[in-house]
Amino acid sequence: MANIPGELKYSKEHEWVKVDGGRAVIGITDYAQDSLGDIVFVELPNVGDTFEAGDTLGVVESVKAASDIYTPLSGKVVEINRELEDSPEVINEDPYEKGWMVVLELSDPSQVENLLSKEEYEQFLEENA
């Protein structure tokens, strides 16, 4: 069973979000990393890039395939996890902590209300996975 921490928010595209004031840390969920398998490549945006909710934020690639990462929130990239470029397997090992991908400065913090809670994401996985 996938690990789904209670203090985070989730998207239906299997990203997790940790909201901290006007900023949000984004990564992919334990379910996502497990479905992808061994992650061997990560492409992250540049600091300063701006995105609308639903845009492609980056790409993670497993041995078998490439998958887009979508941002569930609008905002500007203020930090990226450069460590992932050399050690993408960290996402498999620790998706919620060391495997974080980007920090966004939110342009519309009200969008956070559209995200799923732990319980809602759990239910979504049960119905769709």
Applying CB under 8 A, which residues contact other proteins? 37-38, 40-41, 43, 59, 61-66, 85
* Residue 14 beta carbon to other proteins: minimum distance, rounded to whole angstroms: 16
Among candidate residues 65, 73, 67, the one with its CA nearest the CA of residue 102: 73
Q: Nearer Cβ to other proteins, position 61 or 105?
A: 61
CB 104 within 8 A of CB 50: no
Residue with tokens 């479905």: 35
The per-residue DSSP string of 3-18 comes to ---TT-EE-TTSEEEE
In terms of CB distance, is 68 or 119 closer to other proteins?
68
Pairing mode of beta strands 56-62, 39-43 = antiparallel
CB of 41 to other proteins, least distance (A): 5
Nearer to other proteins, 66 or 78 (CB): 66
Q: How far is the CB of 33 from other proteins (least distance, A)?
A: 11
